[in-house]
Amino acid sequence: MGSRRDFIKLSAMATGSLMVPNILHANHRALTKTNNLAKKPIVISTWNHGLKANKVAWDILKNGGSALDAAELGVRIVESDPNNMSVGIGGRPDRDGTVSLDACIMDHQSNCGAVAYLQHIENPISVARKVMEKTPHVMLAGDGALQFALENGFKKTNLLTKEAVREWKEWLKQSEYKPKINVENHDTIGMLTLDAEGNLAGSCTTSGMAYKLPGRVGDSPIIGAGLFVDGDVGAACATGVGEAVIRIAGSSIIVELMRSGATPQEACDEGVNRIIKKHKNLNNLQVGFLALDKAGNVGASSVFAGFDYAIHTSNKEELIEATFQKQWE
């Protein structure tokens, strides 16, 4: 279908050096196989905590539920897990010991909502959805976001767990800021869903970079950076160093590349390529992208090895290592 048009688009991409050479195909076979098998409904999400989040999302999708409900409720289970130290309750605090959360959600009609620098609330993704559905705004931040959450029935919770305090105090001894995102392998959760009706949605939620400066907000609550959905084309989300993702408008770029004819895998590879081109110093600069197109094809790519994502379809439930461009030293 449209093969000449597709060929022209792809040729244009190649001559514009959009195609990324020399990518290390860690799991190219698995990705290719997945691409061929993927059918709607489908859910994909970042890191190994995505496996249990996908289960919740899948239960919704397989029963004919909406992509939006699946994307919200799927990531909530990770937000509510105190043992997960990068999302929701139990998240690592900022430099001063305060836990602040960022999240956003988007549907196939470009409805979207976000919260940034939200404290004391366990499920920021649900507050983000309320911002989307009950206000004329897209994003609420800080005290205003908290006030809105409380007014809408969310309860104040202590998000700082004993384990997070213990690690933070350990960090304070040296106070050295060294993000090395995929070493612990349990970071931000971004989720992309496609329901039986063919509608796309996405969610992204995080406690952000551990020991960040107070007030710092990353890419995760920013529509177009940490997450972007275009119901006519596809969806993308990001994990990793948020500053780098914001700099290239990461998730929106990936969706735009898909609109221009790139597969989700090519689009993610090109997103990673742009991160690499824009940063002279790649020291510890891990970024991973996930993408899902309207037909249920998936892509995943990262700067460094070790980024994996969880996929759940009617015949597949597994964790897959993304394509990457660099090995850790």
- Name which position in 90, 113, 218, 261 contacts ligand SD4 (CB under 6 A): 218
Contact yes or no for 180/286 (Cβ under 8 A): yes
Active site residue 188: yes
Task: State the pairing for strand pair 298-304/200-206.
Answer: unpaired
Q: Using CA atoms, how far apart are residues 279 and 5, in angstroms rounded to an integer?
A: 34
219 binds ligand SD4 (CB under 6 A): yes
Whether 195 and 41 have beta carbons less than 8 Å apart is answered as yes
**Closest CB to ligand SD4 among residues 35, 284:** 284
For ligand SD4, which is the closer residue by CB, 218 or 231?
218
Q: Which of 72, 187, 256, 269 binds ligand SD4 (CB under 6 A)?
A: 187
**Least distance to ligand SD4, CB of residue 208, Å:** 3
Residues 125-164, one symbol each (x = binds ligand SD4 by CB under 6 A, - = not), give: ----------------------------------------
How far is Cα 9 from Cα 308, in angstroms, rounded to an integer?
Answer: 29
The first and second tokens of residue 51, run together, are 């496996």
Phi, psi of 5 (to 5 degrees): -60, -45
Positions in 191-210 near ligand SD4 (CB under 6 A) = 206, 208-209
Query: What part of residues 288-317 is at the interface with ligand SD4 (CB under 6 A)?
Result: none
By CB under 6 A, tell whether 181 contacts ligand SD4.
yes
Exactly one of 100, 161, 203, 239 binds ligand SD4 (CB under 6 A); that residue is: 239
Q: Which residues have CB under 8 Å from 115's CB, separation 6+?
A: 101, 102, 103, 104, 124, 127, 128, 131, 139, 140, 141, 145, 149, 221
- 212 and 119 in contact (C-beta within 8 Å)? no
Total binding residues for ligand SD4 by CB under 6 A?
13
- Positions touching ligand SD4 (CB under 6 A) are 181, 187-188, 206, 208-209, 218-220, 239-242
Q: Which residues are catalytic?
A: 188
